[in-house]
């Protein structure tokens, strides 16, 4: 459930589930051997909140839709930003866009990316809010970079974790891309089963820790995903002391 600035990247059917999740032994058996498989995660609309020291500081909504071509579209809005990421059923990135309003400086960071083959291209940059659209476009910088096979768009690294097998003891390495930091290595481990209470209810969950080795330093995240499959994000803890928590899921 990544909700970040360029680093705070920031993620979740019938109406259900503000209750304890389904026991694992009642879930359908795991059949896919894919590293990431979209059928392992839930689609729908997920209302969330950001907390620090137990206090709510912002709310946002993440929508996960399966499109007619089989691709997944992730879209988030709230806090001071709005973003979208489209990926294949195996989480191969297709496109991404992000807009972050920096109200104190009256500037906006935005980007638009298109992935194709082993490359990514697009525009990214920070522009003043009080200038024309033409001036804003002129300030944007081109993006062009090679991306290794298996790279995930950084906006949805948390979603990729939910789409892995998430077995206790699992260790998983992959790479993510963001125009501000380039290609970053990710190392993850599924540590234990847990029970977690959030505004949406109390859920049996699986805890996974992953670390992103960025050019500006390493960031650590802890994901708590539902044991129930297809999975949804229950909570995510950041090394900054902030957490995102599920408030209300509306499953598709």
pLDDT score of 29 more than 50: no
Query: Dihedral (C-alpha) 152, 155, 158, 163: value to the nearest 10 degrees?
Result: -50
Digit-coded pLDDT (tens) for 88-118: 999 999 999 999 999 889 999 999 999 998 9
Question: In percent, how much of the chain has pLDDT > 90?
Answer: 77
What's the chain's Rg over C-alpha atoms?
18
Predicted pLDDT of residue 33: 64
Confidence of residue 229 (pLDDT cuts 50, 70, 90): very high
Phi, psi (rounded to 5 degrees) for 112? -145, 120
Cis status of the peptide bond prior to 122, with omega within 30 of 0? no
pTM attached to this predicted model: 0.85
Q: Contact 9/178 with Cβ under 8 angstroms?
A: yes
- Greater confidence (12 vs 236) lies with 236
Q: Where are the domains of the chain?
A: 24-251
Confidence of residue 38 (pLDDT cuts 50, 70, 90): very high
115 phi and psi angles, rounded to 5 deg: -100, 140
E strands of 88-200, at which residues?
93-102, 107-116, 119-128, 141-146, 152-153, 171-178, 182-198
């Amino acid at each position: 459930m990544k909700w970040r600035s360029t680093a705070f990247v920031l993620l979740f059917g019938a109406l259900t589930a503000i209750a304890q999740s389904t026991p694992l032994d009642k879930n359908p058996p795991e059949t896919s051997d894919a590293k990431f498989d979209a059928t392992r995660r839930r689609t729908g609309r997920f209302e969330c909140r950001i907390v620090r020291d137990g206090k709510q500081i912002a709310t946002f909504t993440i929508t996960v839709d399966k499109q007619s071509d089989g691709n997944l579209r992730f879209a988030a809005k709230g806090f001071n930003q709005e973003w979208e990421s489209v990926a294949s059923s195996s989480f191969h990135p297709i496109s991404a866009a992000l807009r972050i309003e920096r109200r104190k400086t009256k500037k906006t960071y935005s980007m638009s990316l298109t992935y194709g083959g082993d490359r990514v291209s697009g525009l990214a940059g920070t522009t003043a809010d009080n200038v024309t659209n033409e001036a804003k476009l002129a300030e944007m910088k081109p993006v062009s970079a090679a991306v290794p096979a298996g790279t995930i768009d950084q906006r949805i690294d948390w979603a990729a974790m939910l789409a892995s097998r998430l077995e206790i003891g699992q260790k998983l390495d992959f790479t993510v891309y963001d125009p501000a930091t380039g290609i970053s290595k990710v190392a993850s481990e599924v540590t234990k089963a847990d029970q977690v209470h959030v505004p949406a209810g109390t859920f049996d969950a699986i805890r996974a820790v992953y670390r992103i080795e960025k050019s500006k330093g390493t960031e650590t995240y802890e994901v708590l995903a539902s044991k129930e499959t297809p999975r949804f994000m229950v909570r995510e803890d950041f090394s900054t002391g902030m957490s995102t928590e599920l408030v209300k899921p509306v499953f598709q």
